[in-house]
Amino acid sequence: MGNNMVLEGKSVFGGIAIGRLAVYKKKDTQVKRIKITDTEAEIQRFASAKKTAKEQLSGLYEKALKEVGEVNAMIFEVHQMMLDDLDYNEAVSNMIQIQEVNAEFAVASASDNFSQMFAAMEDEYMRERAADIKDVSNRIIAILQGAIDGVTIGEEQVILLADDLAPSETVQLDKSKVLSFVTKYGSTNSHTAILARTMNIPALIGVDLKNTDEIDGKWGIVDGYQGALYVEPDEETLSKYEQMKREDEQKRHLLQELKGKENITLDGTKINLYANIGSVADVANVLKNDAGGIGLFRSEFLYLESKDYPTEEAQFSAYKTVAERMAGKKVIIRTLDIGADKQVDYFNMDKEENPAMGYRAIRICLDRKEIFKTQLRAIYRASYYGIISIMFPMIISVQEVKQIKEIIAEVKAELDREGLPYRDVEIGIMIETPAAVMISDLLAKEVDFFSIGTNDLTQYTLAIDRQNPKLEDIYDAHHEAVLRMLKLVVDNGHKEGCWVGICGELGADTTLTETFLRMGFDELSVTPSMVLKVREKIRGLDLSK
Ligand code: PEP
Ligand code: MG
């Protein structure tokens, strides 16, 4: 076929995307001091970057207002105000004019000076603003450098190309503008891949992206079935893919007929089919795809989206909104699971040799109890407004569960004293370490349910880093060791009356749906866009044969 430039990669979600290519540039690129001659033009550049920054911030404010409530959204207003600060503006313009330097350098210097000044202040509130000065200055620098950050993508939807995207970067993106993700690194179970599935858009990893400056802005096609990226496709290729895209849409349309139908096999075996979410905004997708509940709310994304610890009120409002929108359907909130690939700056965590096996998830929560209690209070308060369950990540011992229960008892006693209403919620744990699998008989006595996190369980069982692109080929999601573990957990859970589900990516693998049903799973929680496909699969199975 024609003279197409084709780059190959591994697909992490099928589908076809056709659109302009946009290269994501990391925000923390170094700022160089460059001598300029036209200082007026440089001041003008600064002014127009500031204007764009303000537009971005007001967009972020609106978005945060809807997703995480007013208290959390306020920070974006504060940032807009900082941009109008006279001293700051004067410092930048003077530096450009007097020292004849580029705007990026002037902003970076002003940022350093002002943030140091704030950091040295007596007042705690003012001291904390030092980080905001840096943040808002980095935004301007990114705009000056032409980096894409959220709404700077422009009005057009694009195919986003990047070396890699960390969860803290994807939360900033205006996702309605992204048609597809294409990354050089990343892996099948990285959170960018999970995000692509939630968004129901094709995504490729392991694409050898070179000379990105040359392809930036060109027209492209992502074939999420074959794992290919076409740059400047010829007419023939383009029309072939436009046709495929139309067919995809028709298939999607047919799946819609499964809405409202039961998840039942031909011989009458039923299973709950829930969906995974990372933010309040994802609930729309859950409802659109007719999931029976939310099987995993990755609550850490509230922390990733925030510039500082989300308050109890902000969290309460997010959980309550989800519970209310789900209108009587179950919502399983997983408590904070940060660390490893999900880093949050304001937690100020030390660099670790081996973060996947490090200070993360429940380990942080049991160590920094005040953070954990704030979240538990918010969840319990929200429980009054719907059907909420709580589950805990990365459990390795019965002792941890007992400690968690003690903290829950403290939280409930506090709420009782304060007269705040809550319900007694179901308590579950994630089974995502081999240790938890092996003692699942003991753990089952302590909880109401198990949800298996196959993403982490596979990485810890096979000793294969789920983030390492080099190991993609040997990462075998169907490894017999993992499948045997799944069966053991179901049996041990059922013996003690626990229900057992899967919330890792494997739950959506339709080549295993029959195996899961035969093992006796009670629930599968999958990315919203896969709910109807898994339902279709279930309805075609006959387990009596
Ligand atoms: C898992 O590990 O399978 C899981 C569902 O959690 P996460 O992907 O967020 O680590
Ligand atoms: Mg996990």
Using CA atoms, how far apart are residues 140 and 53, in angstroms rounded to an integer?
Answer: 6
Ligand 1 centroid distance, CA of 150 (Å) = 25
Please confirm, yes or no, whether 253 is among the known catalytic residues. Answer: no
The closest ligand to the CA of 503 turns out to be 1
- Which residues have CB under 6 Å of ligand 1? 296, 298, 337, 432, 453-456, 503-504
The alpha carbons of the chain give a radius of gyration, in whole angstroms, of 25
DSSP per-residue letters across 93-135? HHHHHHH-B-HHHHHHHHHHHHHHHHHT-SSHHHHHHHHHHHH
The pLDDT-based confidence of 151 (bands split at 50, 70, 90) is: very low
Mean pLDDT of the chain: 92
Looking at 144-153, 167-176, 453-462, which range is the least confident one? 144-153
Q: Give the atom of ligand 1 at the shortest distance from the alpha carbon of 452.
A: 3
Ligand 2 centroid distance, CA of 372 (Å) = 18
The closest ligand to the CA of 198 turns out to be 1
Cβ–Cβ < 8 Å for 420, 474: no
The pLDDT-based confidence of 28 (bands split at 50, 70, 90) is: low
Using CA atoms, how far apart are residues 4 and 6, in angstroms rounded to an integer?
Answer: 6
For residue 245, pLDDT beyond 90: yes
The closest ligand to the CA of 304 turns out to be 1
The pLDDT-based confidence of 194 (bands split at 50, 70, 90) is: confident
Q: Give the atom of ligand 1 at the shortest distance from the alpha carbon of 340.
A: 10
Ligand 1 centroid distance, CA of 341 (Å) = 11
Ligand 2 centroid distance, CA of 393 (Å) = 7
The pLDDT-based confidence of 42 (bands split at 50, 70, 90) is: very high
Domain boundaries 5-24+151-241, corresponding CATH code: 3.50.30.10
Closest residue (by CA) to atom 3 of ligand 1?
453
Q: Where are the domains of the chain?
A: 5-24+151-241, 39-144, 265-539
Out of 3.40.50.720, 3.40.640.10, 1.10.274.10, 1.10.287.3510, the CATH code matching 39-144 is 1.10.274.10
Which two three-digit tokens encode residue 494? 């059922």
For the stretch 312-357, pLDDT in tens is 999 999 999 999 999 999 999 999 999 988 889 899 888 899 999 9
- Which candidate, 228, 220, 216, 233, places its Cα nearest to that of 24? 216
Cβ–Cβ < 8 Å for 139, 53: yes
- Which candidate, 524, 491, 175, places its Cα nearest to that of 332? 524
Closest residue (by CA) to atom 9 of ligand 1?
298
- So what's the pLDDT on residue 184? 92
The closest ligand to the CA of 187 turns out to be 1
Residue 27 neighbours by CB under 8 Å, 6+ apart: 138, 141, 142, 147, 149, 169
Q: Give the atom of ligand 1 at the shortest distance from the alpha carbon of 453.
A: 3
DSSP letter at 354 equals -
If you average pLDDT over residues 500-506, what whole number do you get?
A: 97
Identify the three-state secondary structure at position 320: helix
For the stretch 516-535, pLDDT in tens is 999 999 999 999 999 999 99
If you average pLDDT over residues 417-432, what whole number do you get?
A: 98
Using CA atoms, how far apart are residues 292 and 273, in angstroms rounded to an integer?
Answer: 6
Q: Give the atom of ligand 1 at the shortest distance from the alpha carbon of 276.
A: 5
- So what's the pLDDT on residue 510? 97
The pLDDT-based confidence of 66 (bands split at 50, 70, 90) is: confident
User: Catalytic: which of 79, 365, 498, 503?
Assistant: 503
DSSP letter at 353 equals S
User: Catalytic: which of 79, 191, 365, 498?
Assistant: 191
Cβ–Cβ < 8 Å for 377, 312: yes
For residue 220, pLDDT beyond 90: yes
If you average pLDDT over residues 23-51, what whole number do you get?
A: 85
Ligand 2 centroid distance, CA of 43 (Å) = 48
Superfamily of the domain at 265-539: Phosphoenolpyruvate-binding domains (3.20.20.60)
Cβ–Cβ < 8 Å for 325, 293: no
- Select from 455, 464, 502, 525 the residue to mutate for testing ligand 1; criterion: most ligand atoms less than 8 Å from CB: 455
- So what's the pLDDT on residue 150? 42
DSSP per-residue letters across 387-405? EEEEEESS---HHHHHHHH
Percent of the chain with pLDDT over 90: 70
Looking at 163-172, 324-333, 368-377, which range is the least confident one? 163-172
pTM (predicted TM-score)? 0.74
If you average pLDDT over residues 197-226, what whole number do you get?
A: 91
- So what's the pLDDT on residue 533? 96
For residue 473, pLDDT beyond 90: no
- So what's the pLDDT on residue 154? 64
Please confirm, yes or no, whether 191 is among the known catalytic residues. Answer: yes
For the stretch 380-402, pLDDT in tens is 999 999 999 999 999 999 999 99
For residue 46, pLDDT beyond 90: yes
Ligand 2 centroid distance, CA of 329 (Å) = 23
Ligand 2 centroid distance, CA of 466 (Å) = 10
- Select from 274, 294, 337 the residue to mutate for testing ligand 1; criterion: most ligand atoms less than 8 Å from CB: 337
- So what's the pLDDT on residue 193? 86
Q: Give the atom of ligand 1 at the shortest distance from the alpha carbon of 504.
A: 3
If you average pLDDT over residues 284-293, what whole number do you get?
A: 96
